Chain A
């Protein structure tokens, strides 16, 4: 392998990490909600889409700078997430089948998509360069052999910060301990005086705020936004969360990044790869689950009588 083919490999790897880091941010939201509320929140992907639309609207309608738009998107999505949980999921928490809340989540997903369709229309929205969260020429290394765009660097910095903050929050604060307790045994936690409803709301708030961040980053890196933009990254992030062991925070991060790398390398090196890259991602997931049925970092709990 000569230097330039190696550099093109590194370049694909870098794109994979960038995409994977976005998946990881989304997957963190999925995995926390799953760990604590024990539900698959199928509407999570659509919260990403809403976040991107909010930031875009802020910038085009009020001319706010990207950072302000991002903050508004975070606040908007947090409120949205908590509202969804309160209206649609909380009444079903003690339903006789866990499938009930799953279908309701699908209903919420349809609702968000169609609301966006009604308000913003179907056409793909684009973004001007100065509206991106970060702009400017890419950082060039090795005499121009490798160009790293600024958004890639920002995404990677974001995921590291989010990761550290979440780990600190869950392991070092009272609220975080409450989350761990609720995810371990909801009833026991309630008996010990943990506010279960409040903890679940908080989880949804954090997950949705992360979704807003992911939405803005995703839209800056891949500037095409439709009401259905969120659903595929949502599914991929779900896969990433399962890949790393659903419920595990480091698992979601590693899973997301690995997923992004696999997807990008498959696109680059496999014949007709861009069409089958999703199939390859899913095949790797199945392979991992067959060897480690609880994901890479998941705890395998043996069921007892």
Chain B
């Protein structure tokens, strides 16, 4: 081994160590937040309103991390993330209600989450195959279209279960022809009601950690580097033999499956599901978390999801004005974080502060 190689190995090792540290910080942060919040809950220092948004916050954190995989690492704008959450929520809700008391609670919920993720992943892959041929804004509009299609079609689905098996109709729950004693499960626009409420904050945080584990390991693997190369320069990636579409599809499918998991968590939280919740506003909300937290920055996605989910509840005292303030804050934060002029201003302020971090020169 000669000198240059040694030097290169040393640098690689340093980069690797820094990466590991970075990953560890993210896990520690999630666990620390969990410990603090759990502490507040047990000592009773948290309002009921905030307690009510603990599980939804986990749902949004998972959705934001998974969307970041597509937007941040694969470099494609997806506006249909809510569609995959919808699939996960409905399939898992259907499963839980169909099985009912046939299985012990914990095990049934575990299977429901797996089923939700699996179905969302399959649908994600089926959608991804044609869609990922498109680029940029066209891809964005088609993902938005698929999200709306999923929502619209689920609106006319009626499904029920009796001793003869599963019944299906697109007209009304009367057309299912159920035997007496059969269960109506999905009732069109009314969705699914009385899903067992198995979701807890602890389970939510465990799922966040699972998501983190999957995404962090993926992006720091060989496949992950291939995914990022297709983002940075598609043509260069193609020319060194990286199958671009396959890797983009991989990121898209994993992201859809994780979104399905988030949907399953959501479905088992409030126990009532209908499709109107999963419209494009939800997709956009998740995208806001990703962009505000920093595209390709996982820790940022987590923090942005937590802050922006808690913010409307914190502002509740201002009643009517809260969504107005929320909108203004969103615009202000975007300008402050992204506008070149604002960034230059921040840099100047940082240089003047004696204790401020100096930005390191990149060689």
Which residues of A are at the interface with B, using a C-beta cutoff of 8 A? 34, 40, 42, 88, 91-92, 94-97, 99-100, 102-104, 106-108, 110-111, 114-115, 117-118, 235, 238-239, 242, 246, 271-272, 275-276, 278-279, 282-283, 285-286, 289-290, 293-295, 303, 305
**1/0 per position for B249-291, CB-CB distance to A under 8 A?**
0000000000000000000000000000000100010011001
Bound complex: CA A289 to CA B137 (Å): 12
Q: Closest residue to B292 on the A side, CB-wise?
A: A103
- Nearest CB in chain A: distance from B80 CB, A: 10
- B148: A residues at CB distance < 8 A: 278-279, 282
Q: Which of A96, A102, A272, A279 contacts B171 (CB 8 A)?
A: A272
In the complex, are the beta carbons of A100 and B291 less than 8 A apart? yes
Bound complex: CA A278 to CA B155 (Å): 11
Is B126 on the interface with A (CB-CB < 8 A)?
no
Stretch at the interface among B86-94, B207-215, B222-230, B316-324: B316-324
12 contacting pairs across A/B (C-beta < 8 A): A95-B338, A95-B340, A100-B337, A103-B334, A106-B288, A107-B334, A118-B321, A272-B171, A275-B156, A279-B152, A293-B138, A303-B235
In the complex, are the beta carbons of A272 and B170 less than 8 A apart? yes
In the complex, are the beta carbons of B331 and A97 less than 8 A apart? no
In the complex, are the beta carbons of A99 and B142 less than 8 A apart? no
Bound complex: CA A246 to CA B340 (Å): 28
Is B341 on the interface with A (CB-CB < 8 A)?
yes
In the complex, are the beta carbons of A94 and B340 less than 8 A apart? yes
Is B130 on the interface with A (CB-CB < 8 A)?
yes
In the complex, are the beta carbons of A110 and B320 less than 8 A apart? no
Q: Closest residue to B296 on the A side, CB-wise?
A: A97
Chief secondary structure at chain B's binding surface:
helix
In the complex, are the beta carbons of A282 and B133 less than 8 A apart? no
Chief secondary structure at chain A's binding surface:
helix
Bound complex: CA A107 to CA B71 (Å): 19
In the complex, are the beta carbons of A106 and B284 less than 8 A apart? yes
Is B330 on the interface with A (CB-CB < 8 A)?
yes
Known: A99-B291, A278-B149. 11 other contacts (CB 8 A): A100-B338, A102-B77, A103-B334, A118-B320, A235-B280, A276-B153, A283-B149, A286-B142, A289-B134, A293-B134, A294-B138
In the complex, are the beta carbons of A290 and B138 less than 8 A apart? no
Is B144 on the interface with A (CB-CB < 8 A)?
yes
Bound complex: CA A107 to CA B149 (Å): 25
In the complex, are the beta carbons of B156 and A96 less than 8 A apart? no
In the complex, are the beta carbons of A242 and B156 less than 8 A apart? no
In the complex, are the beta carbons of A92 and B339 less than 8 A apart? yes
In the complex, are the beta carbons of B235 and A279 less than 8 A apart? no
With known contacts A88-B331, A91-B341, A104-B331, A290–B133 Cβ distance under 8 A: yes
For the side of the interface on B, what is the size category? Answer: 35 or more
- Nearest CB in chain A: distance from B308 CB, A: 11
- A285: B residues at CB distance < 8 A: 141-142, 145
In the complex, are the beta carbons of A282 and B149 less than 8 A apart? yes
Q: Closest residue to B234 on the A side, CB-wise?
A: A303
Is B146 on the interface with A (CB-CB < 8 A)?
yes
In the complex, are the beta carbons of A110 and B339 less than 8 A apart? no
- B170: A residues at CB distance < 8 A: 271-272
**1/0 per position for B329-351, CB-CB distance to A under 8 A?**
01100110111111000000000
- Nearest CB in chain A: distance from B239 CB, A: 8
Which of chain B's residues 115-136 have a Cβ closer than 8 Å to chain A? Answer: 130-131, 133-135
- B292: A residues at CB distance < 8 A: 103
Is B174 on the interface with A (CB-CB < 8 A)?
no
Bound complex: CA A95 to CA B341 (Å): 9
- 8 tightest CB-CB pairs across the interface, nearest first? A282-B145, A279-B152, A100-B338, A111-B327, A110-B327, A107-B330, A91-B339, A107-B331
- B195: A residues at CB distance < 8 A: none
- B321: A residues at CB distance < 8 A: 118
In the complex, are the beta carbons of B327 and A114 less than 8 A apart? yes
- B155: A residues at CB distance < 8 A: 275-276
- Nearest CB in chain B: distance from A123 CB, A: 15
With known contacts A99-B77, A282-B149, A110–B130 Cβ distance under 8 A: no
- A110: B residues at CB distance < 8 A: 323, 326-327, 330
- Nearest CB in chain B: distance from A100 CB, A: 4
Bound complex: CA A8 to CA B350 (Å): 70
Bound complex: CA A80 to CA B10 (Å): 57
In the complex, are the beta carbons of B152 and A275 less than 8 A apart? yes
- A293: B residues at CB distance < 8 A: 133-135, 138
In the complex, are the beta carbons of A272 and B340 less than 8 A apart? no
Bound complex: CA A285 to CA B131 (Å): 12
- A275: B residues at CB distance < 8 A: 152, 155-156, 189
Is B302 on the interface with A (CB-CB < 8 A)?
no
In the complex, are the beta carbons of A246 and B137 less than 8 A apart? yes
Bound complex: CA A96 to CA B331 (Å): 17
- B327: A residues at CB distance < 8 A: 107-108, 110-111, 114
In the complex, are the beta carbons of B149 and A289 less than 8 A apart? no
- Nearest CB in chain A: distance from B194 CB, A: 24
- Nearest CB in chain A: distance from B292 CB, A: 7
- Nearest CB in chain B: distance from A179 CB, A: 19
- Nearest CB in chain B: distance from A277 CB, A: 8
- B71: A residues at CB distance < 8 A: 99
Is B328 on the interface with A (CB-CB < 8 A)?
yes
- Nearest CB in chain B: distance from A45 CB, A: 12
In the complex, are the beta carbons of B324 and A115 less than 8 A apart? yes
- Nearest CB in chain A: distance from B10 CB, A: 31
Is B295 on the interface with A (CB-CB < 8 A)?
yes
- A117: B residues at CB distance < 8 A: 323
- B142: A residues at CB distance < 8 A: 285-286, 289
With known contacts A285-B142, A293-B134, A305-B235, A108–B338 Cβ distance under 8 A: no
In the complex, are the beta carbons of B334 and A286 less than 8 A apart? no
- B328: A residues at CB distance < 8 A: 107, 111
Q: Closest residue to B321 on the A side, CB-wise?
A: A118
Candidate in A91, A96, A239 with the most chain B CB atoms within 10 angstroms: A91
Bound complex: CA A9 to CA B287 (Å): 42
Q: Which of B133, B156, B331 contacts A272 (CB 8 A)?
A: B156
In the complex, are the beta carbons of B156 and A276 less than 8 A apart? yes
